[in-house]
């Protein structure tokens, strides 16, 4: 069945940067994969792509395409904050994990997400990239790879919520 998850995240402290930070239209999100029949698989979503990529598992299943896409990607840029709200559609079917027999869920029992950022350094006149993810020690201070200047502060874990069919 088709499921939709809403992923939201926010950076603050942007008033201290001049690096034109923005969210990249790509994310990684763990899903219980009905093809691998494994729970908590890292799945790569790219905005505009009609499918997602399951990273498979170290032992056995190869990386493979799967039924999922970014259905919505809204970003909000304020003077001091940068927010994102992504809607991720994915196909989910029940199974029990082939290794530990855990029951599949939608979303997975401990969803993990990584969101990607890009910026432009006015000192180095070069672009750079960064990311935030669920398992970080917060507050997490993002810094420019070129000049070490502040980019933004990540104070809260990205929120993941399953939508009940409605948008
Ligand atoms: Zn898979
Ligand atoms: Zn810089």
Taking phi first (over 0 means left), then psi (-120 to 50 degrees means alpha), and beta for anything else, what does residue 24 get? beta
Tokens standing for 31?
């899903």
Ligand 2 centroid to residue 46 C-alpha, Å: 26
Ligand 2 centroid to residue 138 C-alpha, Å: 22
Supply angle C-alpha 26, 31, 35, rounded to 5.
Answer: 110
Q: Which ligand is nearest to the CA of 97?
A: 1
Q: Residue 127: helix, strand or coil by DSSP?
A: strand
Domain around 80: 2-163
pTM of the model: 0.93
- Beta-carbon count within 10 A of 116 CB: 16
Ligand 1 centroid to residue 28 C-alpha, Å: 13
The C-alpha R_g of the chain, in whole angstroms, comes to 17
| Domain total in the chain | 1
pLDDT digits (tens, 9 = 90+) for 72-124: 999 999 989 999 999 999 999 999 998 889 999 999 999 999 999 999 999 99
């Amino acid at each position: 069945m088709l499921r939709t998850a809403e992923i939201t995240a926010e950076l603050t402290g942007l008033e201290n940067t001049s690096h034109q930070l923005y969210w990249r239209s790509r994310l990684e999100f763990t899903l219980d994969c009905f093809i691998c029949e494994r729970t908590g698989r890292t799945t790569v979503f790219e905005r505009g792509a009609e499918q997602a990529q399951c990273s498979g598992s170290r032992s056995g299943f190869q990386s493979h395409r799967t039924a999922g896409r970014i259905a919505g990607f809204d970003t909000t840029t304020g003077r001091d904050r940068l927010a994102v709200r992504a809607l991720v559609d994915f196909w989910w079917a029940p199974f029990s994990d082939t290794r530990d027999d855990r029951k599949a869920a939608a979303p997975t029992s401990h969803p993990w997400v990584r969101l990607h950022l890009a910026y432009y350094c006015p000192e180095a006149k070069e672009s750079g990239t960064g990311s935030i993810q669920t398992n970080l020690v917060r507050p997490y201070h993002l810094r420019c790879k070129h000049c070490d200047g502040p980019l933004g502060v990540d104070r809260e874990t990205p929120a993941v919520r399953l939508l009940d069919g409605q948008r």
